Amino acid sequence: MEVLNELNKLADIIKSSEDNYVLISHVGPDGDNIGSLVGLALGLLQLKKKVTVINADPTPKKYHFLEKCISISAAKEYKKQDGNLIVLDCPDLKRTGLSEDAISSFSRVVNIDHHISNILFGDINLVDTSAAATGEIVFKLLQKLNIDFTPDISTPLYTAIMTDTGSFRYENTTGFSLETGAFLINHGADLNKINVEVYETFSPASIRFMAAALKKLEIAQIGTIAWIIVTNEMYKQFGVNEDDFEGLVNYAKSIAGIEVAFLVKEGEDSTLKVSLRSKGVIDVNEIAAKFGGGGHKKAAGFMTGDYSNYESLVKDILFETSKMLASGCEK
């Protein structure tokens, strides 16, 4: 009921004289991030609203096709203005990359998300943790606003839901996910374009890089934890960036007997970024929370500048994960 109340409240605000909207999502954009931003932006434009879309990090190459109708600007170039800030798919305002000064310039902050780790930071919190993707929540909002679901709107929303459900393979997939996917296909979502761009377009360098990274895959002695390290030297050797190996951690998770997998990526600014995945016994959101991050039960992450080297961080992640496995408790 609370989610429905927030949905109705936000729809009423948008239908009113409120005309200026700035949309942003989390650092390290993914399919749900970009798809939700573009789908909502096009819906608001259909209502003759003024819309600006920004993000802290550039759009990964595989999602460039979604920017056909919407330009996404760099958040660091954003100039303060009045209006409504809509934060999508982001559990914490810090993960937007916007300064506190910029955030405070808005008359209202709207929080649209599905992460269980969301801290409810908005003036309006349309947070539905039962949703498989933020794209599903945006879909419901656009329905409430009586938007015409054109192919240009249907394509990014389908991409958002498809990528966050692993092509409807993950346990978070619901009947509503499948029904919404069918609706969007029937309204012109370009399924072939999405599949080719997201899953079937890799540079030769990215394939060679992933092969080298998989050679460094390690498995803990207990046989239930696997991890991969990606260093700055590897970036330079193969001439790649994070866009080129999204989903690499899933190869480690797919090994028979592995319950938890994680990927540690070195950043140029001495930070370490970690992606955690679980087959279900362990709640990796709880592990991520111990390091200041969060996400979902089966997929979470965090970024830290507290370690001088990745070896120490790996040791601490293994300790926390082994402790949870030893307890035998399902979260």
How far apart (Å, rounded) are the C-alpha atoms in residues 301 and 286? 10
Tell whether the torsion through CA atoms of 127, 128, 134 and 137 is positive or negative. Answer: negative
CB neighbours of 72 closer than 8 A, spacing ≥ 6?
34, 37, 38, 53, 54, 55, 59
Q: What's the alpha-carbon Rg for the chain, to the nearest Å?
A: 20
Give all domains of the chain, ordered by start, each with its CATH number: 2-199 (3.90.1640.10), 204-327 (3.10.310.30)
What does each C-alpha distance from 255 to 196, 218, 224, 226, 227 come to in angstroms?
A: 26, 11, 9, 8, 11
CA distances from 314 to 202, 230, 307, 325 (A): 29, 12, 10, 16
Within a 13 Å sphere around the CA of 90, how many CA atoms are in the beta-carbon half?
A: 29
Q: What is the pLDDT of residue 328?
A: 65
Quick: pLDDT tens for 195-241.
999 999 888 999 999 999 999 999 998 899 999 999 989 988 998 87
Contact 41, 23 (CB under 8 A): yes
User: For 46-102, how does the pLDDT look when each residue is reduced to its tens digit (9 = 90+)?
Assistant: 999 999 999 989 999 999 999 988 989 988 877 766 789 999 999 999 889 888 888
The most distant pair of C-alpha atoms in the chain lies apart, rounded to whole Å, by: 61
pLDDT, one tens digit per residue, over 242-284 is: 777 778 999 999 999 999 999 999 887 778 999 999 998 899 9
What is the per-residue pLDDT across 292-323, written as a single tens digit (0 to 9) for each? Answer: 998 888 999 999 988 988 999 999 999 999 99
Whether residue 117 has pLDDT greater than 50 = yes
Residue 280 has a pLDDT of 86
**How far, in Å, CA of 70 to CA of 260, rounded?**
37
Closest CA to 131 of 69, 82, 76, 88: 88
- Check pLDDT > 60 for residue 330: no
Tell me what pLDDT residue 296 has.
86
* pLDDT over 70 percentage in the chain: 98
